[in-house]
Structures are given as structure tokens and as C-alpha cells.
Structure 1
Amino acid sequence: MIRMIPTLAAAGALTALGLPAFAQATANATVDLNIRAGAGPAYEVVGMIPQGEPVEVAGCLDPATWCEVTHDGVTGWASGGYLTAIVETTPVVIYENADAAGITTVTYDPTLPDGTVTLNGAVIAADPSAEGTSLEITDGAITYLNDNPIDPIYLDGEVVLGAGLPETVVLTPIPDSMLAYANINGQQVVVEPDTRRVAYIAR
């Protein structure tokens, strides 16, 4: 069963509306950042941009929460909150500065598939500079997480190390450990219960 929580940036297939040809801009990822098959957290992860590496940006939605990118031969969508571009010699986050960074705005017509449910609410607290946890993540904890998958919960935002999960997300304890885990946007993650921060992402 798929449980959809809070504002899904885009759930279901997105259909382009006559995209014009335009020059691509270049940005950098501030974290290890997922590339997804569509503009939203419910879409499959098809690649990853390592922290600090450049990526070509074809355009972003307005606001620039999701941007169409190409990295290492993989084209898909990445969260604009974790992409920076240079504006007057200073790196700025695309999400807040798409126009100044020369990022083209792309318009789409979202189409929700039958049976898709969207609810209002929780958002992943994006703080990529925060440390995930001071607790030891053992091989046993990772093995348990991989061997005991749970149903995904879809939140607005992207899964990155150090990001905080809202209180609405129920965490599942990992036996013989002070850690817990959850399946967020289709990815199993280890979480420190006290801070609710993502400490490990199973890729």
C-alpha cells in the first residue's frame, strides 16, 4: 500500500506543453542529490548527482522546486532547493534565484494517475549542513533495514543526509540499536529518533 502524505510536488505523470529549444545552464549539487524520473518525490530514482559536482539544467518549474537536469548521461528531475548556480561570482540556490541565475522556466500540465491520493501537510525539513547522527550505524542495522522493507511515505521535498523528518512520520525501531528507520519517498533511511534526522540512505 502506498501512503501519500503532504503536498506532493507532482504525483503522477507530467506532460510537457510544447517545450521550446533553449540553452542549458550549469549548477552544482550541495548534497548527494537524487535524479528522479519525474518532477516530484513519488517518482523513481534514476540517478544521483554527487555533492559538489556540476549538472546541466534544462529548465525549472515555477517556483523552482524541481528542475530538469542531465548528469553523467542521465536526464531526469532534481530538487531545486539543493542546486546552486553562480550569480555575479556568488553561488545562490536555484529555488530562490532561478531568474537571476538565467534558469529557463518550464510549464507543465500535471496529470494524476487513477487512484493517486494527495493529502495536505508534512514537509521534509531541508538542512543539508546538519549532521545526520552521532550514533554508530552498524552493518547489522543496515542489514536489518534492507531485509525488512516497509511501505513508503511520500513527503514534499527530497531525501538527503541531515534532513529532518516531521513528527507525522512514524519511525520503526531497529532491534539492538538506538536507531530507527522509515521509507521516505521510496527510499529506506536510517533515522536518529531524538533529532529525527536522516543519518543513512540505502541506495
Structure 2
Amino acid sequence: MTSRILTLAAAGALSTLALPAFAQATASATADLNIRSGAGPAHEVVGMIPAGQEVEVSGCLEPATWCEVTHDGVTGWASGGYLTAIIDTTPVVIYESADAAGITTITYDPTLPDGTVTLNGALIAADTTGQGAQVEIDDGAITYLNDNPVEPIYLDGEVVLGAGLPETVTLTPVPESALAYANINGQAVLVAPETRRVAYIAR
């Protein structure tokens, strides 16, 4: 199935330049957070960090939109917007405070993969818990979501519960349900249409 790309993070399948070893930092996920095979929302999901659990951070891009992490034996990339580190006893979002948190900046080969396009749209951040859409999800809606796939739309940022979809994303209604659905960054999601926030993620 051909993907319809509204936007794509300008990361892609990039290879790391040779760097000296650095001590890893520790961070915590503020939501159930995907680990992807590369630094961008179009890369395959290879694992997940449950909300509240710690993860080792090897380093982040500049700015720290994506960080290389290891959790439960899986190494990949996670969104710096949903990772927090402790600075002076206070949790802070890595994306905003990578230097203060002692996070290493990772340097990459600037070559981008074919088909990478300029960033022009983004998910709306969820609340600080990542649980901004508390709605009832019925089994019928989940079954319909799984049985009726739609083409993926790629947006900057990560898919978490409570993340908001911009108006440019067309939502498909779920019959006999108050919910709608879409495929965002390769993941099927149920959405509360009145708020346009993600209420369920098929994993």
C-alpha cells in the first residue's frame, strides 16, 4: 500500500559517525512510548517503554527531538518530548533540557534517505501524563479499526495516548460509534473527533 505522506521527520535511516564512548544518562517515559528503528516517525516500531519506566539514553540529536535509548534489551530511538530526566530533584523534559540533563549530542551523517520531505505538520503534544483522552473504547470499534486499514499519514512527533491530530488529518468515522480512526506514523489509532485526540493505539 502506498503511503500518503503529509510530513516526515528529516531523520530517516541515518548512520552514526564514529564517536567516543560516553556514560549513559537515565530518563523516564511520561507515556507508553514507542521505540523505533530510526530517528523519525516513519521508522518501524521495535519496542515500547511503559509509562513511568526508566530507560538508558545514549544521546540525542540537536535539538533533542529524538534520542537513542535502550530499554528491556531493545535499543532504538524514542521521542525526546516524552522523556524526562531529574535535574536538581525536578523532572524536566529532555527535549527542552538535554544539556542540563547531561545528555550527549549525537552527530550523524547528513545524507537523507530517498523520499524524505520537508517537515510541514506535527502532532499536538499530549498532556504531561500522556493520558489526555479518557474515553470509553468498545470492542466493536477496535475490531473495525483492525479490519478496515487506511493509508498511513506521517506527522512529526510520536503517537501517544492524548496526542492531538491537526486539522489537516482526515478522520474516518467508525460505524455505530462516537469514535473515528486514522493511521498515524504507521499505527492505527482511534480518535475522539470532538477533541481530535488519540484515545486508543493498536499495538
Question: TM-score, length-normalised on structure 1?
Answer: 0.94
**Residues in 2 aligned to 1:175 and 1:83: alpha-carbon distance in whole angstroms:** 36
Name the stretch that deviates more: 67-76 or 117-126: 117-126
Matched, 1:112 2:101: no
Which residue does 1:26 correspond to in 2?
26
Task: Give the superposition deviation at 1:112.
Answer: 3.0
SS at match of 1:170: coil
**Residues in 1 aligned to 2:158 and 2:84: alpha-carbon distance in whole angstroms:** 15
**Residues in 2 aligned to 1:123 and 1:198: alpha-carbon distance in whole angstroms:** 14
Query: Does the aligned pair in 1 maintain the 2:29–2:50 contact within 8 Å?
Result: yes
Call closer, same or farther: CA 1:133–1:73 in 2, change over 3 Å.
Answer: same
Call closer, same or farther: CA 1:90–1:192 in 2, change over 3 Å.
Answer: same
Query: Does the aligned pair in 1 maintain the 2:10–2:116 contact within 8 Å?
Result: no
Query: Does the aligned pair in 1 maintain the 2:10–2:119 contact within 8 Å?
Result: no
What is the Cα-based RMSD across aligned positions, in Å?
1.3
SS at match of 2:143: helix
Kindly provide the CA deviation profile for residues 51-76 of structure 1, in whole angstroms up to 9, marking residues without a partner as x. Answer: 00000000000000000000000000
SS at match of 1:75: strand
Identity across the alignment (%): 74
Query: Does the aligned pair in 2 maintain the 1:5–1:119 contact within 8 Å?
Result: no
Which residue does 1:6 correspond to in 2?
7
**Residues in 1 aligned to 2:158 and 2:110: alpha-carbon distance in whole angstroms:** 19
Equivalent position amino acid for 1:199 in 2: A
Task: Give the superposition deviation at 1:100.
Answer: 0.5
Task: Give the superposition deviation at 1:104.
Answer: 0.4
Kindly provide the CA deviation profile for residues 81-118 of structure 1, in whole angstroms up to 9, marking residues without a partner as x. Answer: 0000111111111001001000000011243333x152
SS at match of 2:15: strand
Task: Give the superposition deviation at 1:6.
Answer: 2.7
Query: Does the aligned pair in 2 maintain the 1:41–1:155 contact within 8 Å?
Result: yes
Q: Which runs of 4+ in 1 moved over 4 A?
A: none
SS at match of 1:78: strand
Which residue does 1:68 correspond to in 2?
68
Which residue does 1:57 correspond to in 2?
57
**Residues in 1 aligned to 2:38 and 2:69: alpha-carbon distance in whole angstroms:** 11
**Residues in 2 aligned to 1:17 and 1:109: alpha-carbon distance in whole angstroms:** 6
Q: How many corresponding residue pairs?
A: 200
Relative to total residues, which structure has the larger strand share, 1 or 2? 1
Which residue does 2:120 correspond to in 1?
121
**Residues in 2 aligned to 1:124 and 1:63: alpha-carbon distance in whole angstroms:** 17
Kindly provide the CA deviation profile for residues 24-72 of structure 1, in whole angstroms up to 9, marking residues without a partner as x. Answer: 0000000000000000000000000000000000000000000000000
**Residues in 2 aligned to 1:9 and 1:112: alpha-carbon distance in whole angstroms:** 7
Equivalent position amino acid for 2:147 in 1: D
Query: Does the aligned pair in 2 maintain the 1:2–1:152 contact within 8 Å?
Result: yes
**Residues in 2 aligned to 1:168 and 1:88: alpha-carbon distance in whole angstroms:** 40
Structure 1: tracts of 5 or more residues without a match? none
Question: TM-score, length-normalised on structure 2?
Answer: 0.94
Query: Does the aligned pair in 1 maintain the 2:132–2:161 contact within 8 Å?
Result: yes
**Residues in 2 aligned to 1:2 and 1:20: alpha-carbon distance in whole angstroms:** 38
Equivalent position amino acid for 2:31 in 1: V
